[in-house]
Structure 1
Amino acid sequence: MATANNALLLMLVAASGFFDLKERKIPNKITFTGILIGLIFNLITGGWLGLFQGVVGMFVGLAIFFLPFVMGGMGAGDVKLMGAIGALMGWKFSVMTALYSAIVGGVMVVIHLAYTGKLRETLKKMLYALINLLLQFFIRLGYSETVYKAHEKFSKNGQDYKKIYIPYGVAIAGGAVLVLIAYKQGFPIF
C-alpha cells in the first residue's frame, strides 16, 4: 500500500470521526470529497484499471452498510464514508474495515453501557430475547402450552429494549486504522 493512500485515508477517517463524534453527523463535503479524491488518486496511480478498481471499491463500500442503513441501524454518512474508503483503498480494504469496525463498535457499546450503568440490564434483556427466539422455534415445531407460556413471559421481559446510538464514524475510523496496523504487521488483507 502506498504511503500517500494511507495518509489520505487517515485524513479522511480522522475528519469523519471528529465530525461524527462532535455533531453526530458526517458531512457530505467530507465523504463526497473522499470518494472523488479516491477515484482520482486511483486513476492517476493505476490508470483506467486503477479507476475501475476504485469504482468497484466504492460500490462494495456503499453496499456493505446499505442494508443496516435501510433498517435504521446507521446513518447515511457512515455508508458514504465506507464508499469513500472503498474508492480510495479498494474493495478488500473496505470489507476488512467493516469487520474491524464491527469489533470497535461493539467495544464502544460495551464501554458506553458500563459507563451508564446499563450493561447488566442490557445483557439480561439480550438473554431474554435470545431465549424468546429459541422458544419461538420450538412453538413452530409443534404447539405446546408450556412453551407458549414461557414465550409470553420472555417476550414481555425483553420488550422495552432501547436502541443504543454510537457515533459509528468513530468505529469506522478505528476499524480502518486497525486494518492499516494489521497490514503493516504483515497480516494480509485477504
Structure 2
Amino acid sequence: MLTANNAILLVLILASGFCDLKERKIPNKITFTGILIGVLFNFITGGVSGLLQSVFGLLSGLLIFFLPFAMGGMGAGDVKLMGAIGALMGWRFTVMTALYSAFVGGIMVLIHLLYTGKLRETLQKMLYALIHLLLQFAIRLGYNETVYKAHDKFSKNGYAYRKIYIPYGVAIAGGAVLVLIAYKNGYPIF
C-alpha cells in the first residue's frame, strides 16, 4: 500500500533524479518545495511531535552530506535533497537512504569505469595515491633516503588522480527506493 508520504517521496526523488541526470543539477524549487511539504505534512499529520521529527530529519539529512559537500565530493543540490528526504521521512529513513545511496553510487561509478574502460587505470592511480600517502607518513616519522626515493617515484606515477563525477541525485533516488522496498518487505529501518 502506497502511503501519502511515500508517494510524495517518490515524486520528489524522481524529479530530482531526472533533473540531475539531464542537467547535472537539482533545482532549488524541487528541494525547497520538498522540505516545505515534508515539514507541513508531518506537522499536519503528527502535530508538534511530527514537526520536531521533520525538523530533526531535515537537519540530519543536511548534516549527513555536509562533509562530502565541503570536500567537493558532491553538489549542494544533493545535500538539500537529503534534507528534503529527512524533512519528509525522518532521520532513520534518511540515514538508511544515505547508506544505500553510497552503495548505488558505487555501482554507478563501477559501471562508468567499466563502460569507459578506465577501471584498471583508476584502481592503479588510487593505489599509487594510497602508497604516496603512506610514504609521506613514513617520511614524517623520520625514515631514510630510500623512502624519499620511493616517495618521488610514486608521486610522479599516480598522484594526478582525477575525480569521477556522477549524478548523485540518481544514486540518492535509488537508495531511497531500496529503503522503501526493504521496509515494505519487513526489514526494519534500525
Q: TM-score range by the shorter chain?
A: over 0.9
Aligned to 1:122: 122
Instruction: Say whether the 8 Å CA contact 2:85–2:94 is kept in structure 1.
Output: yes
Q: Does 1:92 align with 2:88?
A: no
- Write the letter of the residue equivalent to 1:111: I
CA offset at residue 141 of structure 1? 2.5
Q: For residues 92 and 152 of structure 2, what CA distance do their matches in structure 1 show?
A: 44
1:140 Cα deviation after fit: 2.5
CA distance in 2, matches of 1:149, 1:186: 56
Q: In the alignment, residue 158 of structure 1 is paired with which amino acid? A: G
Across the two proteins, how many residue pairs are aligned to each other?
190
After the TM superposition, list the runs of 4 or more consecutive aligned residues in structure 1 that deviate by more than 3 angstroms.
Answer: none
Q: What is the Cα deviation at residue 44 of structure 1?
A: 1.1
1:152 and 2:181 correspond: no
2:62 is aligned to 62
**Separation in structure 2 between the aligned mates of residue 22 and residue 2 of structure 1, nearest angstrom:** 27
Cα deviation, residue 137, structure 1: 2.5
TM-score by length of structure 1 reads: 0.96
Aligned residue in 2 for 1:183: 183
Aligned partners of 2:157 and 2:183: how far apart in 1?
44
AA aligned to 2:161 is Y
Tell me how far apart the structure 2 counterparts of residues 103 and 154 of structure 1 sit (CA, whole Å).
30
Bigger drift between 159-168 and 26-35 goes to 159-168
Offset, 1:2: 7.2
1:141-172 superposed Cα distances (whole Å, 9 cap, x missing partner):
33211112111111111122111111000000
The percent identity for this pair of structures is: 82
Matched residues in 2 for 1:84 and 1:182: separation?
A: 20
Aligned equivalent of 1:26: 26
Which shows bigger deviation, 145-154 or 12-21? 145-154
Counterpart of 2:134? 134
User: In 2, Cα distance between the equivalents of 1:37 and 1:17?
Assistant: 18
Q: Name the structure 2 match of 1:83.
A: 83
> Is 1:108 the equivalent of 2:115?
no
1:171 maps to which residue?
Answer: 171
Gapped regions of structure 2 (runs ≥ 5): none
1:53 corresponds to which residue? 53
Quote the RMSD (CA, aligned, Å): 1.3
